[in-house]
Chains A and B, each alone.
Chain A
Amino acid sequence: MSESTTAASSGTGTAGSNSPIPPSRGMGPWVGFGLAALFAWAALTLDVPQDRLLDLPERLARLGGLMFPPDAEYGRESVLPAMLESIQMAWLGTLIGAVLSLPLGLLGARNLFPALGVPIKALLGLIRVVPELLLAIYLVPVVGLGAFAGTLAIGLHSVGMLGKLSNDIVESMDLSPLEAVTACGGGTLENLRYAVMPQVLPEILALWLFRFEINLRASAVLGVVGAGGIGAVLLNNLSYRRFDKAGAVVVVIVVAVLAIDALSGALRKRLVQS
């Protein structure tokens, strides 16, 4: 049986094994039609006022005109401190996430600890589903309003993504140094210290930096639920219709995020290269 199939495939030549699978257009148009119909239904039943859709450019231009030029003095005196608080929250939150996720990242790697992989990956998956904002909703009543609650929320949420990607990094490493350490009589701890960490640390550090960039954006919005940072400043100024002050917030956050992204990106590139 197996002989005949190999004979058949070699008989038809390379075309049999290498020719592309014929495109199956059977379901394609139907799926497309279904998605388009779903879009039409969703867009039409969504509460979108027709007139606002039409004069959207005008409204945006008017808002832009009100926000710029921004209130520079307010930006220096009130927005900058709030932005610094957001940066502090993001930094500390990333550290918490890093410290908590490193052991999970190592223990959940299937090539090191096969038995622990499934439960740890499931746990990390569950953590990732709960956004920082929802965590903050429960942390604020416990530790009070302010940056501490936001920092904890960022830290806890970061564990999910950092743990998962650390797992991936550890699982794709070279296993031969492990063998060498074991051959020299090293146990699990020696293996982690001398075979695993030197290999994965640069990539994991780069990952932490990347998460810091994400957390900076997250910390900026946590103020919406009273968990500190710059978000509350924007929300308050917009709701009191002080648009020139809101413009100052937008300018500060765009400049700060661009600067930190550039710095962190450069550091990441160096880490991964060396």
Chain B
Amino acid sequence: MSADGSARPIESGAGPTPPPDPWRARVRNGVVALVLGALTAWSVRGTGFDLGELFSNLKQAQRLIDDSLPPAWGFLPRLWDPFLETLQIAYVSAVVGGLIALPLAVLSARPIAPLRAVYLVSRNAMNLLRTMPDLFWAMLFASAVGFGPFAGTLALSVFTVAVVAKLLSESMEAIDLGVLEAVRASGGGWFETVAYGVLPQVLPQYVSYLLYAFELNIRASVVLGLVGAGGVGVVLKSQLAMFDYARVTMIVLAIFVVVLMIETVSEFARRRLVGEIATGRR
């Protein structure tokens, strides 16, 4: 009890912890509830949120369902090539992004980065990259290099770099530092330390993050076409523009099946990898 009491002030840095005062807690909860309530009311007004509208538009929904079903099965063969392009975009950008992410992760892992300045710059650059949604990157690259799968591949590569480098650098910060010391003790420089001390320890996680990035890329790449960056989304966009919802539904169904299949396989592979880590460590 006393140990608890003496440890807390050091953590919070402000005097001894006062005994729990029910009124203070109540007032604080009240203020929090008020703020959140105001935020919600503001959002309801701003977005025009109205469940009544949703239910009064059920006739509209009925018409949409009539338009959408049955899906245009005859359209399915024409989806083969766009889907292939989607998968290619996702795979190529997972590989390219994954390869670029590796050195960046080394530079933005605190105990491994050669200089503190390098660590700070690299870490913050990663965070900056991650603030922009994948489709925004796709729009920007489409403006830079023109419409098509090239723009999509560039966008998803950047996105993969951001995701993999962040996860991998966190894994690198959690490794067993004793191994690094051992490499240094036997005369290894910084490069040898990374190659023989760091990389073997994080390799399974690295592969698992690559698979995860590939899954994210698949999901992102099916909608890239909405902004003109290639893949099956291009077909989706053109059918949407013609309000051909039977074909739209066919495309959505196909996306659903493909994403589900790839995720199942990838998740299985990832679980095996993580399982190997667990058994290998013990």
Contact = CB atoms under 8 A, between A and B. Distances in A.
Interface stretch (A46-54, A105-113, A173-181, A190-198): A46-54
Contacts of B146: 49, 52
Contacts of B247: none
Given A46-B153, A142-B60, A234-B139, A253 B132 contact: yes
A48 B154 CA distance: 10
A138 B92 contact: no
Contact of A234 (B54, B60, B136, B240): B136
Contact of A88 (B43, B131, B154, B219): B43
A49 to B, nearest CB: 7
Interface string A40-70: 0011011111001100100110110000000
A129 B263 contact: yes
Contacts of A272: none
A88, A131, A147, A217 pick with most chain B CB within 10 angstroms: A88
Given A56-B145, A138-B64, A39 B256 contact: no
A163 interface: no
A151 B230 CA distance: 27
A238 B137 CA distance: 12
Contacts, number: 158
B104 interface: no
B49 A151 contact: yes
Contact of B240 (A137, A143, A243): A137
B101 interface: no
A210 interface: no
Given A52-B145, A59-B145, A39 B92 contact: yes
Contacts of B268: none
Interface string B247-259: 0100010011001
B149 interface: yes
Contact of A43 (B53, B92, B222): B92
A141 interface: yes
A217 B60 contact: no
Contact of A143 (B57, B87, B149): B57
A258 B125 CA distance: 12
Contacts of A257: 131-132
Interface residues of A, number: 65
Interface in A28-42: 35, 38-39, 42
B154 to A, nearest CB: 8
Task: Please classify the interface of chain B as helix (H, G, I), strand (E, B), loop, or mixed, using the class held by over half of its residues.
Answer: helix
A23 B21 CA distance: 59
Given A129-B259, A148-B50, A225 B91 contact: no
A84 interface: yes
A254 B132 contact: yes
Contacts of A235: 139, 227
Contacts of B54: 142-143, 152
Nearest to A49: B150
A42 B43 contact: no
A95 B279 contact: no
Given A84-B46, A142-B61, A46 B133 contact: no
A83 to B, nearest CB: 11
Interface of B: 39-40, 42-44, 46-50, 53-54, 57, 60-61, 64, 68, 85, 87-89, 91-92, 95, 127-128, 131-136, 139-140, 142-146, 148-150, 153-154, 219, 222-223, 226-227, 230, 236, 240, 245, 248, 252, 255-256, 259-260, 263, 279-280
Given A46-B89, A95-B40, 15 more contacts: A42-B92, A46-B88, A47-B148, A56-B154, A59-B144, A88-B42, A129-B256, A130-B252, A134-B252, A137-B248, A151-B49, A217-B133, A238-B143, A246-B140, A250-B140
Interface of A: 20-21, 35, 38-39, 42-43, 45-49, 52-53, 56, 59-60, 62-63, 84-85, 87-89, 91-92, 95, 126, 129-131, 133-134, 137-138, 141-144, 146-148, 150-152, 217-218, 220-221, 224-225, 228, 231, 234-235, 238, 241, 243, 246, 250, 253-254, 257-258, 261
16 contacts: A42-B87, A49-B146, A52-B146, A91-B43, A126-B260, A129-B263, A134-B255, A143-B53, A144-B57, A221-B135, A238-B139, A238-B140, A238-B143, A243-B143, A250-B140, A254-B128
